[in-house]
Amino acid sequence: MNVTLSDIWFVLFVVIIGGYLILDGFDMGVGILHIPFAHSDGERRVLLNSIGPVWDGNEVWLILGGGVLFAAFPLVYASLFSGFYVAMMLVLLVMILRTVAIEFRSKRQSPRWRTGWDVVFALSSAGLALLLGVAFGNVLKGVTLDADGNIRMSLIDLLGPIPLLVGVTTVAMFAMHGSIYLSMKTDEALNARIRVWLPRLMAAFFVLNTLLIAALVVFHPSITDRYAQNPWLVAFPAAALAAILGAWYLLRTGHQFWAFVASSAMLFLLLVSAAAGVFPNLLISTVDAANNLTIYNAASADGTLTVMLIIALIGMPFALLYTAGVYYFFRGKVVVEPTGY
C-alpha cells in the first residue's frame, strides 16, 4: 500500500480535530454544566476559573483545523463553508456570545448582570456543541453535493434525525468530559455534587451513543459496510468502548486524572472510528456517488502539501509544548483570586 501526501494530511487533519474535541470539548462541557452544577456566585466563578487560563488556547485547534482544510483540501472547504453558510454563521454567533459571556460576566457585582451572562454562557456552550454535532452528522450521512461541488440545503434540511441525534450525543459527550475535568479541579460541596452526577452523565452519553450507532447501521450502512470489508477497523470503536469503561472504573477508584485521560482517548477514538468509516471520502454526495469529494480528488497539489507538511513538522511541536506548558502551570485545584473571572 502506497501512502500518499493526501493520506498523511487526512491523518493530520483527524489528529488536529481530535485535539480540538478533547481540549475545547471539556471547556464546552464546563459551560453546559455551568447552571445546573454551580449553585452560587462563588461556585460559578470556580467553574469559570477552571477553564479561564486555557479556553481561548483550546479554540486555536479549531482554527488550525479550518486552516488545514482550506490549504490541503480546498474543494471540500469551498463546498462545506458555502453549503453550510447559515449554520456556520450560527456557530460564529454562539462562539462570540460564549467569549463575551466569559469576559463580561464578572465586570459588575450585580447579581442580575452575572446571572444573565451565566445563562448566555451555558446556552451558547450547549448551542455550540449541538451545532458542531449537527454539522458532523451531515458529513456522516451525506449531503446534496452536485457535480459542481455545490451543496443546496437549507438550515431546516440540515436538521435531519441523524444529524440532530449526533448533535444531542455531542452535548452529552462534552458534558460528561467536562464533568470529569471538573472532578479534578474542584473540591468540597461542588466536587461532591459533580461526583453524584458523573455516573448519570456517563450513562446518558452511553445510551445516546448506542442509539446513534444503531441508527447509522440501519439507515446509513455505507459506513458499516467499510467495517464489514475491513474487520480490523473494529479495533477503533472497541478501544473507544474500553476507554469509556476504563474512565468509569478510574473514577470509581478515585483516579480523576487518568479518568480524564481515558475520556480524552475515547473522544479521539470515536472520531477515528468515524473517519475510518467514511475514508477516503471527506464529503459524501447523496445525489451521485461520483460527486463524492475524497482526500484524493479534493486535495491540493503535491508541492503545496509538501510545503505544508514541512511547516507543520516545524510548528506543531511548539503548539504542543505551549499547550502542555499552560496545563502544567495551571494544574491542581482551582483557587479563585480577586482578579480572576
Nine-digit cell at 67? 486552516
Structural domain contains residue 237: yes
Question: CA 206, CA 68: separation in Å to the nearest integer?
Answer: 31
Q: What is the pLDDT of residue 1?
A: 60
Structural domain contains residue 185: no
At residue 273, the 3 state secondary structure works out as: helix
Average pLDDT over residues 96-117: 91
Question: CA 191, CA 266: separation in Å to the nearest integer?
Answer: 23
Average pLDDT over residues 26-50: 91
Give the residue numbers spanning the domain of 16: 5-177+193-329
The answer to whether 12 and 312 are in contact (CB under 8 A) is yes
Structural domain contains residue 104: yes
Q: What residue type is 202 in one-letter code?
A: M
Q: If you search the block for the grid coordinates 449537527, which residue do you land on? A: 134
Element (H, E) at 294: strand 293-294
Structural domain contains residue 99: yes
Q: What is the pLDDT of residue 226?
A: 85
Domains: count for the chain: 1
The answer to whether 130 and 171 are in contact (CB under 8 A) is yes
Task: Tell me the average pLDDT of the chain.
Answer: 91
Structural domain contains residue 43: yes
Task: Compute the C-alpha angle 137/140/146, nearest 5°.
Answer: 105
Give the predicted TM-score (pTM) of the model: 0.94
The answer to whether 180 and 320 are in contact (CB under 8 A) is no
Question: CA 59, CA 95: separation in Å to the nearest integer?
Answer: 10
Phi, psi dihedral angles at 65 (to 5 degrees): -65, -45
The answer to whether 79 and 150 are in contact (CB under 8 A) is yes
Structural domain contains residue 187: no
Average pLDDT over residues 316-335: 87
The answer to whether 239 and 270 are in contact (CB under 8 A) is no
Structural domain contains residue 204: yes
Residue 155 has pLDDT above 90, yes or no: no
- Name which of 132, 127, 121 is nearest 31 in CA terms: 121
Average pLDDT over residues 175-195: 92
Question: CA 137, CA 119: separation in Å to the nearest integer?
Answer: 27
Domain CATH number, residue 265: 1.20.1630
Q: For a pLDDT cut of 70, what percent of the chain falls above it?
A: 99
Structural domain contains residue 340: no
